[in-house]
Amino acid sequence: MKVMVFVPGDAKSEAGAMPTDDLVGKMMKFNEELVRAGVMLAGDGLTPTSNAKRVRFSGTQRTVIDGPFTESKEIVAGYWIWQVKSMEEAVEWLKRAPFDGGVEVTIRPIFEPEDFGKTLSPELRAKGERLRAEVERQRQS
């Protein structure tokens, strides 16, 4: 299974302060460990929300809002995508990350194709069937 790990930001990351050399070093070591274990698929840090934009959708109207979004309770400052066998494995990996100071990091499983198979509405499923029947017909003609 794949999971996405959300690292929250704080006042410091929002102010654009770079982490200390010590923390960068520890984080690099942790990332290296993840890569060497074949667990890490992707991961990045995000710049402060002062660089961010939002688009609000309302009917046909699109409104662009400029950052920063200081009112947001949960600002994401970084993410990983991991390939793991279970949520427990993801938790065990995350426990080894060099975070501190009461920060709470969230792990969320990414939908697998099988999940869609189960939740697909009968209409969508029928549409898929028709599409495949058409493909089959074209193949044989």
Partner 1 sequence: MTAQTTRRTVEAVWRIESAKLIGALLRLVRDVGLAEDLAQEALVAAMERWSESGIPDNPGAWLMTTAKNRALDEMRRRKMVERKHERIESETSAVAQVDIESALDDDVGDDLLRLMLIACHPVLSKEARVALTLRLLGGLTTEEIARAFLAPEPTIAQRIVRAKRTLAEARVPFEVPRGAGLSARLSSVLEVVYLVFNEGYAATKGDEWTRPTLCEEALRLGRILAERAPLEAEVHGLVALMELQASRLRARVGPSGEPILLRDQDRSRWDQLLVHRGLAALARAESLDEPLGPYALQAAIAACHARAPTAAETDWTRIVAIYDALVEVTQSPIVELNRAVAVSMAFGAEAALELVDAIVDEPALAAYHLLPSVRGDLLAKLGRDDEARAEFERAAKLAQNSRERELLLARVRACSTKSS
Interface ranges with partner 1 (CB under 8 A) = 1, 35-39, 41-42, 81, 83, 85-86, 88-89, 91-93, 112-114, 117, 120, 125, 128-129, 132, 135, 139-140
Q: What whole-number distance in Å separates Cα of residue 6 and Cα of residue 46? A: 11
Q: What whole-number distance in Å separates Cα of residue 91 and Cα of residue 109? A: 11
If the CB atoms of residues 2 and 72 are measured against partner 1, the closer one turns out to be 2
Q: What whole-number distance in Å separates Cα of residue 83 and Cα of residue 41? A: 7
CB of 132: closest distance to partner 1 in angstroms? 6
CB of 20: closest distance to partner 1 in angstroms? 23
Three-class SS of residue 16? coil
If the CB atoms of residues 68 and 89 are measured against partner 1, the closer one turns out to be 89
CB of 67: closest distance to partner 1 in angstroms? 26
CB of 11: closest distance to partner 1 in angstroms? 28
Helices (H), 46-121: 87-95, 113-119
Compute the radius of gyration of the chain from its Cα atoms.
21
If the CB atoms of residues 18 and 126 are measured against partner 1, the closer one turns out to be 126
Strands 76-83 and 106-109: unpaired
If the CB atoms of residues 47 and 83 are measured against partner 1, the closer one turns out to be 83
